[in-house]
Structure 1
Amino acid sequence: MGWLDGQVALVTGGTGGIGSAIVRRYVAEGAKVGVMARDATALQQLQEELGDAVVTIQGDVTRYQDNQRAVDTTVETFGRLDTFVANAAVFDYFTRLDRIEPEKLEESFQKLFAVNVQGYLLGARCAIEPLRQSKGSMIFTLSNSAFYAGGGGILYVTAKHALVGMIRQLAYELAPDIRVNGVSPGATSTPMKSLEGLNKRSVPLNEIPGFEQAAAEAVPLKRIANPEDHTGHYVLLASKQNSGLTTAHIIHSDGGWEIRKAAG
Structure 2
Amino acid sequence: MAGERGRLDGLSVLVTGGGSGLGRAVVDRFVAEGATATVLERSAEKLESLRAAHGDRVRGVRGDVTSGADNAAAVEAAVAAFGGLDTFVGNAGLWDFGRPALDMSLAELADGYDELFGVNVKGYLLGARAAAPALTERRGSMIFTLSNAALYPRGGGVLYTASKHAGVGLVSQLAYELAPYVRVNAVAPGGMATDLRGPRAMALGDTSISDMLPVEDQLRQYSALDLAARAEDYVGPYVLLAARGESATMTGAVLDASAVGTPRRPDFAP
Instruction: Give TM-score scaled by structure 2 length.
Output: 0.94
Q: Does 1:58 align with 2:62?
A: yes
Cα deviation for residue 262 of structure 1 reads 8.3
| 1:70-92 deviation per Cα after TM superposition (whole angstroms, max 9, x unaligned) | 00011111101000000000111
1:66 partner letter: D
Which residue is equivalent to 1:126? 130
Which residue is equivalent to 1:234? 238
2:225 partner letter: L
1:35 partner letter: V
Which residue is equivalent to 1:259? 262
- The unaligned stretches of length 5 or more in structure 1 are none
Q: Is the 8 A contact 1:218 1:260 kept in 2?
A: no
Which residue is equivalent to 1:88? 92
Q: Answer with 172-181 or 96-105: which moved more.
A: 96-105
Q: Distance in 2 between matches of 1:195 and 1:135?
A: 35
2:196 partner letter: M
Which residue is equivalent to 1:69? 73
Other structure's SS at 2:64 match: coil
Other structure's SS at 1:138 match: strand
Cα deviation for residue 104 of structure 1 reads 2.2
Q: Does 1:110 align with 2:114?
A: yes
Q: Distance in 2 between matches of 1:169 and 1:99?
A: 33
**Residue 190 (structure 1) aligned to one of 194, 198, 210:** 194
Q: Is the 8 A contact 2:59 2:81 kept in 1?
A: yes
**Residue 209 (structure 2) aligned to one of 205, 223, 228:** 205
Q: Specify whether residues 32 and 189 from structure 1 end up closer, same or farther in structure 2 by C-alpha distance, changes over 3 A only.
A: same
Cα deviation for residue 153 of structure 1 reads 0.7
Q: Specify whether residues 262 and 221 from structure 1 end up closer, same or farther in structure 2 by C-alpha distance, changes over 3 A only.
A: closer
Which residue is equivalent to 1:217? 221
Q: Distance in 1 between matches of 2:61 and 2:7?
A: 25
| Percent identity over paired residues | 42
Q: Distance in 2 between matches of 1:127 and 1:161?
A: 22
1:237 partner letter: L
Q: Is the 8 A contact 2:86 2:138 kept in 1?
A: yes
2:227 partner letter: R
Q: Does 1:159 align with 2:173?
A: no
Aligned residue-pair number: 263
1:228 partner letter: E
Aligned Cα root-mean-square deviation (Å): 1.6
Cα deviation for residue 212 of structure 1 reads 3.5
Cα deviation for residue 200 of structure 1 reads 6.7
Q: Specify whether residues 208 and 6 from structure 1 end up closer, same or farther in structure 2 by C-alpha distance, changes over 3 A only.
A: same
